[in-house]
Structure 1
Amino acid sequence: MIGYKFMGKAHSHAYRDVSFYFDPAVEPVLQVLCGRNEENVKEAAAKMGWKSYETDWRKLIEREDIDLIDVVTPNNSHAEIAIAAAEAGKHVFCEKPLAMTLEQSQRMQEAVEKNGVIHMINHNYRFVPAIQLAKKLIDSGRLGKIYHIRSTYLQDWIMDPQFPLVWRLSKEVCGSGSHGDLAAHSIDLARFLVGEFKEVNGILETFIKQRPIVEDSSGLSGKASSDQMGEVDVDDASVFMARFENGAIGTFEASRFAGGNRNGNRFEINGEKGSIRWDMENMNNLEIFFLDDEPGLQGFRTINCTEEIHPYAGAYWPAGHIIGYEHTFINLTLELLNGVDKGYSPSPNFIDGVRNQAVLAAVEKSSRSRQWVSISELLQNQKTTAL
């Protein structure tokens, strides 16, 4: 695994615990953890259960005792590492968003497909049991034709103007702000549950234009080095409308300036026969409404998705004994390992990553042009440009 902080901790925990709850087709062996700071990565490797550590990711690519490269680095290194890993015949698991740009993401997809390696992107929210139940309800027709999705992903951790200029606020490292970090998850869930996007119209906004230069950055925190200020060149908030290929419409909002929201990843989906609602801060619950319920008793009911009948839930605890954020990574890791064993790339994979990246890019283009942007036209133009 390359990288070891916030997501490195989540991924490491999943590799260590997946065999405790499930019976994956292959057993993960935590061979080597890689990071640039030798002292820090050595400490992290020992704490998180890795057999060894390394400071140069290129050396990992050359090792014959490694089958899978897990990329949990900042966004600007995803493409280089993933492409090199694929060309060396390694399977690749990559953090989201897949890349800095649509063109980068397409090159990543081409590399994994050309070299015949297994590939997957980390959109862990797909693997919440409640989300999996929502998918079953929609696919079985219980909600009928889908009309709307309303999706928000709200946080508030950078509202203080003196919060330092961490890497997630620098375009050359992350590509975009709340848009790529938060809206990417909302886009993936919408594609998973509703269908492919047709066109979008949106705006991006930066509220705090300058912040103190950072001395050290770790996860979602950082320490200012001095009174010197640097430019914030990514968005603080992203808002867009969407039309889907199947006729549904949607609204999406991602912001790091929504006070009181620590991790407000939420959506409501409305169909001709019913509706569903979900909130990450109460992730075990799915709210469901069916239009054909008896008059006078209609309304949203809350399903605590912890029973054996609910996807993945039966591997954990008795009904009502809730699971947490970390278990979404365990569920995803199970699918990844089974895919490696059976020779297929579980969804979400790099194909999904490219489709998600296209929607992100289309919103950015719309914000600049103040016009609707077609996803298919954007993909076609990108393909023509590449040729």
Structure 2
Amino acid sequence: MDNVTDRTIGIGMLGYGFMGRAHSSTLRQVRHMTWPPPLIPELVSIAGRTEDAVTAAAEEFGFAEHVTDWRALVADARIGLFDNTGPNSVHVEPSIAAAEAGKHIVCEKPLGLTADDSYEAWQRVRAAGVKHMCAFNYRFVPAVRLARELVAAGELGEIVHFRAAYLQDWLVDPSVANLWRLDKSVAGSGALGDLGALGTIEASRSCPGRRNSLRFEINGTGGSVAFNMERLNELEWSEGTGGFRMILVTDRDHPFMQNWWPPGHILGWEHTFVHELHHSLGAIRDDRDVAPHGATFEDGLPRRGGVRRDRRSADGQGRVLVSYRD
């Protein structure tokens, strides 16, 4: 393919909002994580609906060209990776079309507005034989990866309990009333659909004082780990006695840190996207799956069926059995 060489890969991006800005920053930073990166991104073209806005985004983000129809990205032979950062309502169709045109896919969560849409995206993208990643970037927080390693190594013993809360406060502000995330036809299932649910969870965007509080705690027969996204360089670890101790996850032997700064120098939220993209580029270059550390489209699927049933329960239908799909 002329869109992927042994050194470079052409990038086409759909969307220029919050996630478009984050992904674009990542495309420029990934070469600073390792040199050379698995593949060097070439920012070919960005797509958005509004001419003035996408023109400005192309200039700001560093894309050589811009278009107002995502189908132009799909048809562009220079593009090897289709990066879908658009609103939830345009995740499925463009991602499927790009995959069936032979382009590898990174798609923001959720995959689709419904379980059926998400299932179709997974099936058709998988059948296309390209690499596909659902952008669960918090898997690439060093402290979260360290927690996973501790669990996998048996340091916590048998896992007996899990709880998590993702609380934000931006919906308290009445000025955001017309945001697309509040339009069910565009956003789908709201906070639960975007953020997901496992174990005992809370998810809300209307908690004054909670700016971006993503917290989880995993308890086992031999210990516990706890994490708070607002202190993303720290992991609390208990070996079962004497309470918790804090680990500053910046040492060279901690996940990802060998590629960054000396111990004690912290990373930020944007670095999770750099780690994620680096991982995706490596999977493309080496022809390997993005799993288990990266989320495939299949990983992005099961949560949708649960979200549908959670909504039915919330609508007054009482307790509802959760299964993979309808």
TM-score of the aligned structures, taking structure 2 as reference length: 0.91
Whole-Å Cα distance in 1 between the matches of residues 70 and 222 of structure 2?
A: 51
**1:281-320 alignment, distance < 5 Å:** 281-291=230-240, 298-320=242-264
- Indicate yes or no: 2:311 matched with 1:371: no
User: Where does residue 306 of structure 2 map in the other structure?
Assistant: 359
- Indicate yes or no: 2:218 matched with 1:269: yes
Please say if residues 305 and 322 of structure 2, whose CA atoms lie closer than 8 Å, have aligned partners that are also in contact.
no
> CA shift at 1:340, angstroms?
0.9
User: Where does residue 21 of structure 2 map in the other structure?
Assistant: 9
- Indicate yes or no: 2:201 matched with 1:252: yes
- Indicate yes or no: 2:108 matched with 1:95: yes
Deviations 1:261-293 (A, max 9, x none): 0101111111100011100000000000002x5
Whole-Å Cα distance in 1 between the matches of residues 176 and 80 of structure 2?
A: 40
Deviations 1:168-227 (A, max 9, x none): 00100001222123x32xx4xx5xxxxxxxxxxxxxxxxxxxxxxxxxxxxxxxxxxxxx
Whole-Å Cα distance in 2 between the matches of residues 138 and 264 of structure 1?
A: 22
Please say if residues 83 and 106 of structure 2, whose CA atoms lie closer than 8 Å, have aligned partners that are also in contact.
yes
Q: Helix, strand or coil for the counterpart of 1:86?
A: helix
> CA shift at 1:366, angstroms?
3.1
Name the amino acid aligned to 1:122.
A
Larger radius of gyration: 1
Number of aligned residues: 309
Q: Helix, strand or coil for the counterpart of 2:14?
A: coil
Name the amino acid aligned to 1:268.
E
Please say if residues 365 and 373 of structure 1, whose CA atoms lie closer than 8 Å, have aligned partners that are also in contact.
no
My pick for the range that moved more, 272-281 or 47-56, is 47-56
Deviations 1:286-314 (A, max 9, x none): 000002x5xxxx11000010111011012
Q: Percent identity?
A: 42
Whole-Å Cα distance in 2 between the matches of residues 81 and 106 of structure 1?
A: 15
> CA shift at 1:161, angstroms?
4.2
Please say if residues 106 and 132 of structure 2, whose CA atoms lie closer than 8 Å, have aligned partners that are also in contact.
yes
> CA shift at 1:93, angstroms?
0.7
Whole-Å Cα distance in 2 between the matches of residues 373 and 169 of structure 1?
A: 27
Instruction: Structure 1: state its 5+ residue gaps.
Output: 191-249, 383-387
Instruction: Structure 2: state its 5+ residue gaps.
Output: 1-12
Q: Helix, strand or coil for the counterpart of 1:30?
A: strand
- Indicate yes or no: 2:124 matched with 1:111: yes
Q: Helix, strand or coil for the counterpart of 1:92?
A: strand
Whole-Å Cα distance in 2 between the matches of residues 336 and 62 of structure 1?
A: 22
Name segments (4+ residues, structure 1) moved above 6 Å. Answer: none
> CA shift at 1:162, angstroms?
5.3
Whole-Å Cα distance in 2 between the matches of residues 251 and 300 of structure 1?
A: 21
- Indicate yes or no: 2:27 matched with 1:21: no
Please say if residues 151 and 253 of structure 1, whose CA atoms lie closer than 8 Å, have aligned partners that are also in contact.
yes
Tell me which of 141, 147, 151 is aligned to 2:154.
141
Whole-Å Cα distance in 1 between the matches of residues 258 and 309 of structure 2?
A: 40
Name the amino acid aligned to 1:318.
P
Tell me which of 91, 94, 101 is aligned to 1:78.
91
Q: Helix, strand or coil for the counterpart of 1:252?
A: strand
Cα gap change, 1:163 to 1:77, in 2 (>3 Å): closer
Whole-Å Cα distance in 2 between the matches of residues 375 and 142 of structure 1?
A: 31
> CA shift at 1:372, angstroms?
3.9
Q: Helix, strand or coil for the counterpart of 2:202?
A: strand
Whole-Å Cα distance in 1 between the matches of residues 214 and 226 of structure 2?
A: 11
Cα gap change, 1:325 to 1:85, in 2 (>3 Å): same
Whole-Å Cα distance in 1 between the matches of residues 312 and 31 of structure 2?
A: 44
> CA shift at 1:359, angstroms?
2.7
User: Where does residue 328 of structure 1 map in the other structure?
Assistant: 272
- Indicate yes or no: 2:77 matched with 1:129: no
Name the amino acid aligned to 1:24.
P
Whole-Å Cα distance in 1 between the matches of residues 282 and 308 of structure 2?
A: 32
Deviations 1:327-347 (A, max 9, x none): 000000011101111223313
Name the amino acid aligned to 1:310.
H
Cα gap change, 1:160 to 1:9, in 2 (>3 Å): closer
- Indicate yes or no: 2:191 matched with 1:175: no
> CA shift at 1:49, angstroms?
1.2
Cα gap change, 1:309 to 1:97, in 2 (>3 Å): same
- Indicate yes or no: 2:293 matched with 1:349: no
Whole-Å Cα distance in 1 between the matches of residues 161 and 25 of structure 2?
A: 36
RMSD: 1.3
Name the amino acid aligned to 1:67.
G
Whole-Å Cα distance in 2 between the matches of residues 280 and 111 of structure 1?
A: 34
Higher relative contact order (CA 8 A, sep 6+): 1
Whole-Å Cα distance in 2 between the matches of residues 138 and 307 of structure 1?
A: 19
User: Where does residue 39 of structure 1 map in the other structure?
Assistant: 52
User: Where does residue 79 of structure 2 map in the other structure?
Assistant: 66
